[in-house]
Amino acid sequence: MSDNSTYEGQCFCGAVQLTVTGKPQAMGYCHCESCRHWSAGPVNAFTLWSPESVQIHKGYEHLSSYQKTVQSIRKWCALCGGHILTEHPEMGLTDVYAAIIPQLDFQPSVHVHYQETGRFLKLSATRLMKRL
Ligand SMILES: [Zn+2]
Ligand SMILES: [Zn+2]
């Protein structure tokens, strides 16, 4: 049975709006150095979707992108600087940041790249076990 649930998301100023449809293929937290440095935040809460599940329906012209590595094309709103998504072409998945789709029931099941976590976020082993 296919899941046609839709979730609305938008950038910080609202100029860029998107809809995601269905179910994410994975949800979790990324502790990698790239996510941290790009976002200036300690951790990235991600939701991974197949690219065809993600539709930018307003403000596409305001979308800017930056590709530092072959794995990731990071996109944000050029008007407000709000981060929106990261495309992972090699994985065939798009990360729509959990923070911009508030209606989605965020159910994190993994912490990835935890070995790269910075000095900002040290989860104790016990707390990690409870989380997973
Ligand atoms: Zn914006
Ligand atoms: Zn990352």
127 CB contacts (<8 Å, ≥6 apart)?
A: none
Q: Give me the mean pLDDT over the 49-70 stretch.
A: 97
Counting the structural domains of the chain, the total is 1
Domain contains 56: yes
pTM: 0.88
Ligand 2 is an ion; its neighbours by CB within 5 Å are 30, 32, 35
Domain for residue 88, yes or no?
A: yes
> Is residue 92 domain-resident?
yes
* Token representation of residue 96: 């729509």
What is the distance in A from the centroid of ligand 2 to the CA of 72?
9
Residue 107 lies in a domain: yes
CA distance 55 to 130: 34
Domain that holds residue 34: 6-131
pLDDT for res 116? 87
Residue 82 lies in a domain: yes
Those residues whose beta carbon sits under 5 angstroms from the ion ligand 1 are 11, 13, 15, 77, 79-80, 82
* CATH number for the domain that contains residue 80: 2.170.150.70
| SS3 (DSSP) at 35 | helix
Q: Has residue 1 been placed in a domain?
A: no
Mean pLDDT of the chain: 91
The number of beta carbons lying within 10 Å of the beta carbon of residue 33 is 11
- Residue 100 and residue 11 in contact, taking contact as beta carbons nearer than 8 Å: yes
